[in-house]
Amino acid sequence: MDFWRSGQARTYRDVRIGGGKSMGLRERITGFHFPAWAPVAFIIVLVFGILGILFYTRQASAAPHIGDHWHAAYAIYIGDTRQPNIPTFTGPEETHTHGDGMIHMHPFIAAGEGHGSSLGKFFEYGGGKLADDELKVPGQKETHKNGDAIDGKAAELRILRADSGIHPLGGDFARAIQSCDAKDESAFERVNSRYIPQDGDCIRIVFAAPEVKPVVQSDRTIISPDQATREIAIDVTGTGAGTAFSPASIDVKAGETVKVTLSNKSVVEDKNNPPFHGLRFSGADRQYGTSDDFVTDPPTLDPGQQGTAVIRFDAPGEYEFKDEASVKEGVAPATGKVVVGQAEATPAPTATPAAGATPTPAPADVTLALNVGDSGFDPPEITAAAGKSFQITLTNTGTVVHNLRIAGPDGQFRTDDDIAVSGFVNPGATGEASGKIDAPGRYPFRDDFNPTLLAGTLIVQ
């Protein structure tokens, strides 16, 4: 490449000075030589240009297309306090929410396929604002800017995303929210307000001091429907202050696991404001928004849609439930109650004569320890000896109830040879499961309340 050849005159001035002869335009052009550092500068500019394009593309991300139904779970924190779900709204490009802690992206025009589905637009459609340094939560009056004090400390806005691991998310909102809530902030990456949530994303927005990492606790307990022993149906009708449940009171027994099926039978009078409804049961603490609540799945129902919540109360008493869908400011949500009666007494066994004292069960040959948290078992594999009895002590290190079920020799769950903890294990508590398997092999185990995310293997050898 003659342009970079050392020893050549670098400019037409150098040639003119050296030869003393005036140069024409053609000679000036052909006699021009780039400086030696030019290739390096060109490469640097090219690399940074490519990185810039990649960064912007990453922030913009892929977008939903017309006909797609994408969903992402979100949570918003001011300081260490989780904010209520954003009230129901529908954006002009069908990016919306039902007050259920989910971002719904259902574009029906081309404008909704791109930037119209970004986080910034989602907040804008709801009457709020999300910039890279400013937050106004839809439904709230306050605007928070970087540098504002929260709990006496200068705060900054962090916009974060992670993967729930549920693809496609579909209508499995409850499990997605639980999966996202179980994630530590270290599992998230920083994005900006132009980011377009992907199907199955976890979005966490935090306005707090940099060193403040909110302690995230799930706002619901999820019990698998196959744990229920019976079903109760509730209908909901009306809208706003006219919302009513039928029946408004249900009766269950202490310790009984019941599936409640809610049917939204409201009539759509305004197609731009359809009556969404849902159910949230206050748990044992009789407070809403805590980890022992029970919530319908999906959390909010369209008119004509059904959802289910599996509930269980261990202590007799009265517990409230309310409409999960948000209502206008100043309008109280419709409520009802669960009346929990005493558990049915178990008949005392008939005494039988015995030649001697009742023998004490022999201790297990092997004792094993297993922890279960909201994101998995620890360790994910445990080992037992073939033909030897074992006892597993399960410790719940999470924030919601869990249990343990091992598929027995037939390798199938929910059959007579399963080995399982009795009932469920509350946060911080322990439970035990005992058994024996004669044939060596790998036997799956799971948490019935989240069998996809929480699973492991018992190795018998």
Structure confidence at residue 328 (pLDDT):
64
One-character DSSP codes across 11-60: SHHHHHHHH-----HHHHHHT----TTHHHHHHHHHHHHHHHHHHHHHHH
Structure confidence at residue 357 (pLDDT):
45
- Per-residue pLDDT reduced to its tens digit, 150-164: 999 999 999 999 999
User: pTM higher than 0.85 for the full model?
Assistant: no
- Per-residue pLDDT reduced to its tens digit, 49-93: 665 554 444 444 588 888 888 999 999 999 998 898 898 887 877
- Per-residue pLDDT reduced to its tens digit, 13-63: 454 444 455 555 555 555 556 666 767 777 887 776 665 554 444 444 588
- Per-residue pLDDT reduced to its tens digit, 322-351: 998 766 666 788 999 999 998 766 555 554
Flag whether pLDDT at 111 surpasses 50: yes
189 and 74 in a common domain: yes
Range of the domain at 409: 366-460
Question: Which tokens hold the place of 345?
Answer: 């007494």
Question: Which tokens hold the place of 219?
Answer: 């706002």
Residue 181 inside a domain? The answer is: yes
Residue 219 inside a domain? The answer is: no
The mean pLDDT value of the chain amounts to 83
Q: Which residues fall within 8 angstroms of residue 390, CB to CB, at 6 or more apart?
A: 364, 365, 366, 367, 368, 384, 434, 435, 436
190 and 93 in a common domain: yes
80 and 203 in a common domain: yes
Using alpha carbons, select from 381, 379, 371, 392 the residue that is nearest to residue 436: 392
Flag whether pLDDT at 182 surpasses 90: no
370 and 331 in a common domain: no
109 and 56 in a common domain: no
Residue 170 inside a domain? The answer is: yes
Residue 346 inside a domain? The answer is: no
74 and 173 in a common domain: yes
Residue 15 inside a domain? The answer is: yes
Flag whether pLDDT at 203 surpasses 80: yes
Q: How many domains does the chain have?
A: 4
Structure confidence at residue 167 (pLDDT):
81
- Per-residue pLDDT reduced to its tens digit, 394-441: 999 887 778 899 998 888 887 778 898 877 787 888 999 999 999 999
DSSP strand pairing (381-384 vs 455-460): parallel
Using alpha carbons, select from 154, 137, 160 the residue that is nearest to residue 82: 137
Q: Of 180, 208, 236, which residue constitutes the final position of a domain? A: 208
Segment among 252-261, 290-299, 409-418 with least mean pLDDT: 409-418
Phi, psi for residue 198 in degrees, rounded to 5: -95, 155
C-alpha to C-alpha distance for 284 and 188, rounded to whole angstroms:
32
Residue 40 inside a domain? The answer is: yes
202 and 86 in a common domain: yes
Structure confidence at residue 69 (pLDDT):
87
- Per-residue pLDDT reduced to its tens digit, 349-366: 554 544 444 445 568 889
C-alpha to C-alpha distance for 327 and 276, rounded to whole angstroms:
9
Give mean pLDDT, residues 187-215. 95
Using alpha carbons, select from 219, 128, 112 the residue that is nearest to residue 173: 219
189 and 162 in a common domain: yes
Residue 360 inside a domain? The answer is: no
Structure confidence at residue 59 (pLDDT):
42
User: What does each C-alpha distance from 181 to 176, 204, 219, 225, 337 come to in angstroms?
Assistant: 9, 9, 9, 21, 27
Structure confidence at residue 60 (pLDDT):
43
C-alpha to C-alpha distance for 333 and 299, rounded to whole angstroms:
15
Q: Of 178, 208, 238, which residue constitutes the final position of a domain? A: 208
Whole-number percent of the chain with pLDDT over 70: 82
76 and 54 in a common domain: no
CATH of the domain at 244: 2.60.40.420
Q: CA triplet 222, 163, 405: central angle to 5 degrees?
A: 35
74 and 13 in a common domain: no
Structure confidence at residue 417 (pLDDT):
85
Tokens 């003393």, residue located: 20
74 and 56 in a common domain: no
C-alpha to C-alpha distance for 312 and 146, rounded to whole angstroms:
44
Amino acid at position 105, single letter: M
Residue 150 inside a domain? The answer is: yes
381 and 448 in a common domain: yes
* 170: enclosing H helix or E strand: none
For the chain, the first-to-last Cα distance in angstroms comes to 70
C-alpha to C-alpha distance for 262 and 246, rounded to whole angstroms:
10
Q: Of 341, 375, 393, which residue constitutes the final position of a domain? A: 341
